[in-house]
């Protein structure tokens, strides 16, 4: 089996490297690093051109990444929400990426492919957040060369070790394949269990959008918090009228003067209102008991036809006390 893989890469090497990299960067779980390592080992033996391997790997990265970048640039927050929904870690996949982008800006693309979960999210994220095509192509090309070059160099330098590892795999092929399949299945099951446990831990009463709309027109309206990350608010400037940006590091100032009996509503635009429910738990730990996430978040509010305003108009410091 291993010899067949090597023979396949040797015969269709450059095309196979290109397709494997293209597919992986598109988001499918087909790792390209093993192919790049084997291609590097073959290049060390003169069976593949080293420069050609790096060139087609770069082409595969840029083709897939630029497609994601343009999707993010055109559809913005919609693409990010789709990625968030299909992620095994929907509560953090985009938020953590936004924080990295806000801290590093374009240079985040230099390390994106080395960080699990960031490789697919980074191109549409930087597109949605306004990075110019020229800067995207520059930093993405450099990051892609670093990533592909590291894998190819590993195979090139340790070509003998790669050959011995393939020989061992050849001898235990069926057993090794079963173990790899078992480990992959166990990882997916663990991530699903993690996600399920989180949702159970955050199970609490939600407020419906129409109920919130009526409450906001009452004589004692609830205090509404927008718990989206700053990057999400930049991508989609709409907010529920009067909503305050929820900043966990500034809770003392944000909640100054707010009585514990005050009703608080939190919303986000993530699956299962995970971020809003986490923030609600945090507020409950501080003594607030009338706290509920908005079911469906901002998307449900907009879909119901309720009014919104721009984030700049809704931004503010401390909450008004009643």
Model confidence over 141-154: pLDDT tens digits?
999 999 999 999 99
Residues 107 and 243 in one domain: no
Mean pLDDT (whole number) for 178-185: 66
pLDDT-derived band of residue 51, with 50, 70 and 90 as boundaries?
very high
Alpha carbon distances (Å) from 143 to 26, 58, 156, 241: 16, 9, 20, 41
pLDDT-derived band of residue 180, with 50, 70 and 90 as boundaries?
low
Mean pLDDT (whole number) for 209-230: 91
> Which of these three, 200, 220, 250, is where a domain ends?
200
Residue 167 lies in a domain: yes
Residues 53 and 36 in one domain: yes
Residues 179 and 234 in one domain: no
pLDDT digits (tens, 9 = 90+) for 112-133: 898 766 777 888 888 887 889 9
Residue 66 has pLDDT above 60, yes or no: yes
Confirm if 60 and 21 have CB atoms less than 8 A apart. yes
> Which of these three, 200, 222, 246, is where a domain ends?
200
CA atoms within 13 A on the CB side of 76: 10
Mean pLDDT (whole number) for 5-16: 70
Q: What is the largest CA-CA distance in the chain?
A: 79
Q: What is the pLDDT of residue 315?
A: 43
pLDDT-derived band of residue 214, with 50, 70 and 90 as boundaries?
very high
Q: What is the pLDDT of residue 207?
A: 92
Residue 87 has pLDDT above 60, yes or no: no
Give the residue with greater pLDDT, 98 vs 32: 32
Edge-first strand order for the sheet with 291-293 is 244-245, 223-226, 264-267, 291-293
Residue 322 lies in a domain: no
pLDDT exceeding 70 applies to what percent of the chain? 71
pLDDT exceeding 90 applies to what percent of the chain? 32
Residue 257 lies in a domain: yes
Mean pLDDT (whole number) for 175-180: 59
Residues 30 and 161 in one domain: yes
Residues 147 and 242 in one domain: no
Question: Residue 267: which region, alpha, beta or left (left: phi > 0; alpha: psi -120 to 50)?
Answer: beta
Domain that holds residue 69: 2-200
Q: What is the pLDDT of residue 167?
A: 58
Q: What is the pLDDT of residue 278?
A: 84
Residues 124 and 248 in one domain: no
Give the residue with greater pLDDT, 88 vs 12: 12
Residue 156 has pLDDT above 70, yes or no: yes
Residue 319 lies in a domain: no
Residues 182 and 258 in one domain: no
Residue 292 has pLDDT above 60, yes or no: yes
Residue 78 lies in a domain: yes
Residues 221 and 302 in one domain: yes
Into how many domains does the chain fold? 2
Residue 90 has pLDDT above 50, yes or no: no
CA distance 27 to 194: 21
Q: What is the pLDDT of residue 249?
A: 78
Residues 106 and 194 in one domain: yes
Q: Model pTM?
A: 0.61
Residue 230 has pLDDT above 50, yes or no: yes
Residue 86 has pLDDT above 90, yes or no: no
Residues 32 and 104 in one domain: yes
Residues 159 and 264 in one domain: no
Mean pLDDT (whole number) for 36-62: 91
| SS3 per-residue string spanning the chain | CHHHHHHHHHHHHHHHHHHHHHHHHHCCCCCCHHHHHHHHHHHHCCCCCHHHHHHHHHHHHHHHHHHHHHHHHHHCHHHHHHHHHHCCCCCCHHHHHHHHHHHHCCCHHHHHHHCCCHHHHHHHHHHHCCCCHHHHHHHHHHHHHHHHHHHHHHHHHCHHHHHHHHHHHHHCHHHHHHHHHHHHHHHHHHHHHHHHHHHHHCCCCCECHHHHHHHHCCCCCCEEEECCCHHHHHHCCEECCCCEECCHHHHHHHCCCCCCCCCEEEECCCHHHHHHHHHHHHHHHCCCCCEEEECCHHHHHHHCCCCCEEHHHHCCCCCCCC
Low-confidence winner among 155-159, 166-170, 316-320 (lowest mean pLDDT)? 316-320
Confirm if 91 and 278 have CB atoms less than 8 A apart. yes
Residues 151 and 235 in one domain: no
Mean pLDDT (whole number) for 169-174: 54
CA distance 244 to 38: 53
CA distance 253 to 59: 50
Confirm if 309 and 239 have CB atoms less than 8 A apart. yes
Q: What is the pLDDT of residue 306?
A: 94
- What is the CATH number for 295? 3.40.250.10
pLDDT-derived band of residue 104, with 50, 70 and 90 as boundaries?
low
Confirm if 244 and 319 have CB atoms less than 8 A apart. yes
Q: What is the pLDDT of residue 252?
A: 85
Q: What is the pLDDT of residue 131?
A: 86
Residue 216 lies in a domain: yes
* 226 phi and psi angles, rounded to 5 deg: -95, 110
> Which of these three, 200, 232, 265, is where a domain ends?
200
Residue 320 lies in a domain: no
Mean pLDDT of the chain, nearest integer: 79
């Amino acid at each position: 089996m291993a010899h067949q893989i090597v023979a396949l890469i040797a015969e269709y090497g450059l095309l196979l490297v290109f397709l494997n990299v293209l597919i992986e960067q598109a988001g499918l779980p087909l790792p390209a690093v093993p192919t790049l390592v084997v291609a590097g080992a073959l290049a060390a033996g003169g069976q593949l051109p080293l420069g050609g391997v790096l060139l087609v790997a770069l082409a595969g990265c840029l083709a897939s990444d630029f497609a994601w970048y343009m999707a993010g640039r055109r559809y913005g927050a919609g693409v990010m929400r789709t990625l968030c929904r299909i992620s095994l870690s929907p509560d953090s996949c985009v938020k953590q990426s936004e924080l990295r982008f806000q801290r590093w800006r374009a240079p985040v693309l230099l390390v994106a492919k080395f960080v699990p979960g960031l490789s697919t999210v980074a191109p549409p994220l930087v597109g949605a957040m306004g990075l110019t095509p020229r800067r995207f192509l520059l930093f993405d090309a450099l990051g892609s060369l670093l990533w592909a070059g590291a894998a190819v160099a590993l195979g090139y330098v340790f070509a003998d070790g790669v050959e011995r590892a393939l020989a061992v795999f050849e001898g235990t092929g069926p057993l090794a394949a079963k173990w790899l399949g078992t480990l992959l299945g166990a990882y997916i099951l663990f991530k699903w269990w993690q996600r399920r446990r989180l949702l159970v831990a955050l199970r609490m009463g939600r407020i419906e959008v129409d109920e919130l709309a009526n409450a906001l027109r009452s004589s004692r309206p609830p205090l509404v918090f927008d718990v989206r990350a700053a990057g999400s608010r930049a991508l989609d400037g709409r907010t529920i009228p009067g909503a305050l940006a929820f900043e966990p590091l500034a809770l003392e100032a944000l909640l100054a003067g707010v009585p514990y009996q005050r009703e608080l509503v939190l919303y986000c635009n993530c699956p299962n209102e995970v971020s809003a429910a986490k923030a609600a738990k945090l507020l409950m730990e501080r003594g607030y008991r009338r706290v509920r996430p908005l079911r469906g978040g901002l998307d449900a509010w907009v879909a119901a036809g309720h009014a919104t305003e721009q984030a700049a108009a809704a931004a503010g410091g401390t909450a008004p006390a009643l």
